[in-house]
Amino acid sequence: MTDPRRTEQPHPDFADLDILDMPDLVRALAEDQRLAVEAVVRAAPALARVVEGALPRLAGGGRLLYVGAGTSGRLGVLDATELTPTFSWPPERAVALIAGGDRAIREAVEGAEDDFGAGARDVRAAGAGELDVVLALAASGTTPYVLGAVEAARAAGAFTVGLANNPGTPLLTAADCAVLLDTGPEPISGSTRLKAGTAQKVALNTLSSALMVRLGKVYGNLMVDVRATNAKLEARALRLVCHATGEDEDAAQRALAEAGGSVKTAIVMLRLGVGAAEAVARLEAAAGHARAALGESLLGEQRGEPFSPRKR
């Protein structure tokens, strides 16, 4: 029986994978990963549409909800978790739902991905609403848990995004915005933790990073909302302030201390010669965008308008 999903089909170029010598085996597996990046590049227009649709909702106070099973679910957990230390995104606004619950992060929970109702229940339990953005991932594009989640999310008025590695699949049809990551057959037949998973990781990196840029979490290409929770990040925060302002480390350190460790606030303080309270006020007036707070030009689309349900 032939499975129409490309990710499930044996790759004709790797029929002798198990008898390759070590250098050729490693090279074959590594080189095949390049196709993951190419798939994401092809999907760039769809990813841009996701950012455009998600931005006003998040600017209005909405959340990112990640939904997946197995590898896809774990990649969602990873992306959600990294937003807080990297961009100071509130952890309660990055919710990861995985088939089988938290136990499935570390071990396989057999059959969980086949439960359509569980996906719907998990989304309802998370309180999905009109301001929320649901990123639903399934390499196959047919995972029942994920499809159930999308159905419930759409019923709640959330903006749903389907990311799948097979064209013409139910997930891409069900979601408000479809992102096809067409990576084709895997070198190890059906092992979507390989380039299908890599493509999902790159796509999530791209999506969440683009959103954070547009939400003012980045000044130039500096991650000025980094949360300095350890010595490495404290040193990084100091370097960021020095780079953005041209000040020496002593001045940057004093500003950071007065700003409570906020890189963005320290930059505005030093660039404008104001105190922490004034810098915070300027940032609040600029919706958190350092460039606007500094009086520099800012694309209108970067700040955006908060989403209103009346505009749907």
**Mind telling me the catalytic residues?**
82, 113
Burial of 291 (0-12, 13-18, 19+ CB in 10 A): middle
Longest CA–CA span in the chain (Å) reads 71
End-to-end CA distance of the chain: 44
User: Three-state SS for 96?
Assistant: strand
Phi-psi region for residue 297, left (φ > 0), alpha (ψ -120 to 50) or beta?
beta
Whole-angstrom Cα distance, residue 183 to residue 118? 28
- Asked if 229 contacts 237 with a C-beta cutoff of 8 angstroms, the reply is no
- Measure the CA–CA gap between 5 and 306, rounded to whole angstroms: 39
Question: In sequence order, what are the beta bridge partners of 163?
Answer: 137, 179
* Token reading at 172: 């891409």
The values of phi and psi at residue 39, to 5°, are: -65, -40
Contact (CB, 8 A) for 16 and 266: no
177: left (phi over 0), alpha (psi -120 to 50) or beta: beta
Q: Is 134 helix (H, G, I), strand (E, B) or coil?
A: strand
